Amino acid sequence: MTDEVAERFIVTLPSGTVEVSAAFGAPRDAWCVAAMTHGAGSRFDSPFLVGFAERLRELGAATLRFNLPYAEAGRRMPGPVAHAIAGWAGAMSFLDTRADGIPVWTMGRSYGGRMASMAAAGGVITPTGLVYLGYPLHAPGKPESPRIAHLPSIAAPQLFVSGRTDPFVEPHAQLEDAVVACPNAQLMWVDGNHSYEVKGHKRPADELGADLAPLVAEWMRSRT
């Protein structure tokens, strides 16, 4: 397994620049780079992302885990959307010198994935494709306010990996319809809730992340 190296890169915000923490690891002859960030209330070093990234490297992908600016500042609540989009822009700029011409995929837990989608829809980033690890379609119990209007404008392949008991995507038909409306998207249902936990089967978060990595890697390989 390829080890990661601690990194920091610059994110340009309206108020100036900040540095955020990151970890980069690249196996020999990596076939892609998977850039990933955390969900709301979490950080780049969450056990789920650590396990997910480690397994992806075992499968031959390079990985970049990074903090969004609000998490770097020690806050649990996300700041302005523009700051998160700037975080993604900073990550992609950082990878300009590390990717060596191989495909760069974006992926994120919940909020982090949604921010990647908004950055891609706005033309701020142009990844090979996007993977959403628990896309937060709406707040739990509020399906009348879906976060989907921008998704059909993304031309790159999109993969939605959603838990069958995730309250953020109930009713399921709403997410299924949103995916169909996109030009190049696929929905993958897996067991578990928004964190991929299955009731009555407690497992460490790093194992849950590692278990999803082969599914995501197989899908990415089928589209590169």
Quickly state the pLDDT bin for 1 (edges 50, 70, 90). Answer: low
CATH code assigned at 53? 3.40.50.1820
The domain tally of the chain equals: 1
Residue 216 CA, distance from chain mean position: 11
Quickly state the pLDDT bin for 224 (edges 50, 70, 90). Answer: confident
At 79-117, the pLDDT tens digits run: 899 999 999 999 999 999 898 899 999 999 999 999 999
Per-residue CA distances from 191 to 46, 159, 183, 209, 213 (Å): 20, 16, 26, 13, 14
First-last CA distance in the chain: 23
Q: The domain containing residue 137 runs over which residues?
A: 5-221
At 120-177, the pLDDT tens digits run: 999 999 999 999 999 999 999 999 999 999 999 999 999 999 999 999 999 999 999 9
Bond preceding residue 78 cis, omega within 30 of 0: no
